[in-house]
A and B are shown apart, each in its own frame.
Chain A
Amino acid sequence: MNSKLSRRDFIKISGTATVGLAMTPPLTSMMGAIFGEEKTPHLLENEAIKTPTVCEVCFWNCAGWTYTDKEGKIHKVIGNDIDPHSNGRLCPRGTGGLGMYYDEDRLKKPLIRVQGKDGKQEFKEATWEEAFDVIVKGMKDIEKKYGKESMALLFHGKTGPHFEHLFKAWGSQTMGEPAGAQCLITREAGFIATYGAGLASPEPTDVRNTDCLVLIGNHIGENMHNGHVQEVSQLIDKGGTIITVDPRFSTMAAHSTKWLPIKPSTDLALLLAWMNVIINEGLYDKDYVAQYTYGFDLLRDHVQKYTPEWAESVTTIPAGDIYETARMMGGASPRVIIHPGRHTAWYGDDTQRTRAIAILNAILGSWGREGGFYFPEKVKLPKEAHPPFPKPKWSWKTISRDKHKLAIMGITNEIIDHALPEYKGPYKVKGMFITATNPIQSIPPEDKVKRALQNQDFIVVVDTMPSEITGYADVVLPEATYLERLDHLRTAHHRQPNIALRYPAVKPRWESKPGWWIAREIGIRLGLKDFYEWEDFEEVLDWQLKQVGSSMEEMKRVGVKLFPRKTPMYLKDGEEYWFNTNTGKIELFSTDFAEWGYDPMPVYKDHGDAPAGFLRLIYGRLPMHTFGRTLNNPYLWELKNEPALWVNPKVAKLYGIENGQEVWLKNVKGKVSSFGIKVRVTERIRHDSVFLPHGFGNKGRIFVNGKVEEMSRTYGRGISDSEMVYKIEKDPVTGGTGMRNNFVTILTENPHKKEELS
């Protein structure tokens, strides 16, 4: 390493550790602080100024209305009634979204890393001009030394496209988002290999019309996929069947017709056994299979050995239950959905598992059928004209496609691998631009990410909050929250094509700026004026809207605009249909996989058990949080601020732990968690696993002009499962990172008592 400043992270805490002390906000109303003692605190409907917005607290991106008063203070955010994502009702995170705007811990000014007089590194506040100068210099230095391609972009959310455009215009396509390899890429690959089409978001599952919903790896209700939760509720009203497969007694398991408590990592065995029963008992949709699928006979032969009796020995689910649930699904065919889930990167064979789900749906005839999967349609918005993007010498495709044939988007962990000091090949990554993601928690293992970051010449972080990643940046840029900015129109697919507008309800606080402005300013300074022929992003949106028969003026009034469908939503009986696969049919036997050397039909692989004395670490979601994005949000922090480690009573007895006791975790490699977590002794978790919600255990803290800036509420609270992950099981088809094969043991004594956290 020969950079002038040797990179150090800012986790060093001076003096005694203030671990676990949440600084609660003052006990006065947010509104009260602004208005003083008012007599009528309610904002009357006819006095409110309503601005359309698209929520950014999670990726469901519901459309809603921001209510502000005449003084310009936000009172609440509610759903847009005609929005098919939310149907007028936002989830708790959307309702609490205004906390993102009010959070006093937000990044306020551009920051530049400097070396202090005492040799300690810290940030100093700077102007946008100064920050841009450093960024442009940094990017040009990377270009000179290694080439533009060595500057990588890690992004997430609706801010991403602004910087994707910048990078592509400049000449680097080394980019990726954790939503790919860490989350849904394995599912997309599984469905693309089968149907020739992915699912994207929101998944086109026709839940409100189905008779039988099978959830295997989707804890809906704990994940607040708004539209789907609403439709599951309608399904419960109808008295539909819900089958939940989960090692944990999840919320949906409690509302299900049948819960199958599966042994973790054995899901594929169950899916194959279901195929076995459904095929052998003739419960499949014979006409559909005959007309639309390829490889049925091969599949039939393939699943004969995967009997329910065999599956029982592997999954610990009684064979009788497997038969019963298979018959329930068969009986409901074609109005049955085996839900694909979203975060599917689990054990390394995930594309095969999601393919099994796709195959199961296919033989039950649910793809393209009512009550199964509908054909979604989206509004095609033309992109504003710009010169052709320069072709980089190498890109994300170069470093992933050869190894992983269905890597349909940038694989973030490949980028990390190419950023490590030990990588000696030609595709080095030496600079990073990170926006709206915290790789410390989102791309485990943590140690590898940290080494990669240390090896960079230049890092820029664009974010709203001082999360852990900001401590590694050379330049930190404060982004405005979604309530304060414009972004691209939402054109997600759905039953009915629609567009939704996000319009700023209030001016950005402090010096924060919208992503489009930041990208444009950098672009212009890099000489890319041709790619930014507009001054204000509103011009772009207005032009786009006019191309589809609308306008900014209309969208500001309605927020969401629905368009008529141009293609049918479902297959008509016996209709000819060409699927985008090699054979033109739904491939139960994947010809591509056979060609590329992957199993053409899913084969069950055992993933091993916990070593003696260890428990499997299962992580999941809370319905009122979106991991690190919301934990510091004052409203949502108020709602839920104490994560719990679910421990089975038998295990608790063995370890001698009681309900509410604070414990620490240690993984197989001996790494100990930075902070502790409270135990919940519950029967809702198996004896071989522990469960905790992802996103806690935040240890990001930066020093700005000698003062500490951090996410003060969430700092030090709970354990980060990413910290405990040491083993990544890579999916060969996509490069997706399976993270659920990690094992931990419980420590009842504070391992950090004698030493300061370093």
Chain B
Amino acid sequence: MAIEVNKCVGCGDCVVACQTENNVPMGYSRDWIVEIARGEYPNLFMHFESQRCNHCEDTPCVRTCPTGASHVIEGGIVKVTHDECIGCGACIEACPYDARYFHPEGYVDKCTFCDHRVADGLDPACVSVCPTTCMHFGDLDDPDSDISKLIKTREHYTLLPEAGTAPQIYYLK
């Protein structure tokens, strides 16, 4: 996924759309928005980041899961099989992005990149709804895909590269 930080207005549409699409329980969210502001008046900088599970290439969460409930499916999306999760919380401790949470029903839940939509050729709900169209989704392994070209041509960063997780969400400046 790639998110253009120079267009995001922090409206929260991605958060609400995810809630209605995935029936996220009240009091929980699979994605969220962080505001980062720097400087001293009037020399100021500010931007928003829509954050969620980064579906890392080097997943600390899948590595630490004792039952194999946390796993990576084809395409690189990290998912949790509800019936295999014992709710020990190791993956929640392992995630440096605080992307996971205990669903009230007991298992661990998080962003799934709306794999049920991706399977039908649609974008995740957050990407589809964003009014500034600052969110992009696609195949990072395909150098000709729109998203790969976007990342190649734009200055970008990822979250917490020092954690060594190789996150798959790129923030474009």
Contact = CB atoms under 8 A, between A and B. Distances in A.
Give yes or no for direct A-B contact (beta carbon below 8 Å): yes
Interface of A: 24-32, 37, 41-42, 45, 75-79, 86, 89-92, 95-96, 98, 220-222, 224, 226, 229-230, 232-233, 236-237, 249, 251-255, 259, 261, 623-624, 634-636, 638-640, 648, 682-687
A226 B105 CA distance: 36
B41 A230 contact: no
Contact of B45 (A26, A254, A682): A254
14 contacts: A30-B23, A76-B21, A78-B128, A95-B20, A230-B133, A249-B37, A249-B42, A249-B46, A251-B9, A254-B47, A255-B6, A640-B12, A682-B37, A685-B41
Given A30-B26, A90-B13, A638-B27, A229 B131 contact: yes
B94 to A, nearest CB: 24
A229 B47 CA distance: 16
Given A683-B37, A683-B44, A27 B26 contact: yes
A87 B33 CA distance: 24
Closest 9 CB pairs of A and B: A221-B9, A623-B11, A233-B132, A254-B46, A31-B23, A76-B20, A92-B13, A29-B25, A41-B23
Interface residues of B, number: 42
B44 A229 contact: no
Given A24-B27, A92-B17, 15 more contacts: A27-B25, A28-B26, A29-B104, A32-B23, A32-B104, A89-B128, A92-B13, A95-B16, A96-B20, A230-B131, A233-B134, A237-B7, A249-B41, A259-B42, A683-B39
Interface string B32-52: 000001011110111110000
Interface of B: 6-7, 9-13, 15-17, 19-29, 37, 39-42, 44-48, 104-105, 116, 120, 128-134
A259 B104 CA distance: 46
A686 to B, nearest CB: 7
B12 A684 contact: no
Contact of B17 (A27, A95, A237, A638): A95
A261 B27 CA distance: 38
Contact of A638 (B19, B45, B120): B19
A635 B131 CA distance: 18
A95 B13 contact: yes
B132 A230 contact: yes
B9 to A, nearest CB: 3
Given A27-B104, A224-B131, A251-B46, A624 B37 contact: no
Nearest to A225: B131
A220 B26 CA distance: 29
Contacts of B6: 236, 255
A29 B28 CA distance: 9
A623 B44 contact: no
A27 to B, nearest CB: 5
A738 B44 CA distance: 29
B25 to A, nearest CB: 4
A250 B134 CA distance: 19
A640 B45 CA distance: 23
B41 A684 contact: yes
Contacts of A685: 41
A421 to B, nearest CB: 44
B116 A638 contact: no
B125 to A, nearest CB: 8
Contact of A254 (B44, B105, B128): B44
B25 A89 contact: no
A639 B10 contact: no
A220 B131 CA distance: 12
A437 B26 CA distance: 28
Contacts of A37: 105
Contacts of B48: 251
Contact of B41 (A232, A251, A683): A683
Nearest to A235: B7
Nearest to B46: A254
Nearest to A75: B20
A261 B13 contact: no
Contacts of B28: 27
A45 B116 CA distance: 11
Contacts of B19: 96, 635, 638
A262 to B, nearest CB: 10
Given A76-B21, A222-B9, A27 B16 contact: no
Nearest to B114: A42
Contacts of B11: 91-92, 221, 224, 229, 623-624
B40 A89 contact: no
Given A32-B25, A684-B41, A91 B13 contact: yes
B41 A28 contact: no
Question: Which of A95, A251, A259, A638: most chain B CB closer than 10 A?
Answer: A95
B129 A90 contact: yes
Nearest to B5: A255
B173 to A, nearest CB: 12
A456 to B, nearest CB: 39
Given A233-B134, A249-B41, A624 B12 contact: yes
B132 A92 contact: no
B7 A638 contact: no
A98 B7 contact: no
Contact of A78 (B15, B104, B129): B129
Contacts of A624: 11-13, 16
A432 to B, nearest CB: 35
Contacts of B26: 24-30, 634, 638
Nearest to B42: A261
Contacts of A45: 120
B10 A623 contact: yes
Given A26-B26, A28-B25, A249-B46, A683 B120 contact: no
Nearest to A95: B16
A95 B7 contact: no
Contacts of A252: 9
A91 B22 contact: no
A636 B131 contact: no
Nearest to B17: A95
A475 B114 CA distance: 47
Nearest to A682: B37
A89 B48 CA distance: 20
Contacts of A233: 7, 131-134
Contacts of A259: 42, 44
Contacts of B131: 86, 89-91, 224, 226, 229-230, 233
Contacts of A635: 16, 19-20
A648 B37 CA distance: 13
A639 B47 contact: no
Contacts of A249: 37, 41-42, 44, 46
A135 B149 CA distance: 65
A218 to B, nearest CB: 13
A431 to B, nearest CB: 40
Contacts of A75: 20
B20 A27 contact: no
A121 B105 CA distance: 44
B103 to A, nearest CB: 9
Contacts of B133: 89, 230, 233
Nearest to A236: B7
A32 B27 CA distance: 13
Nearest to A623: B11
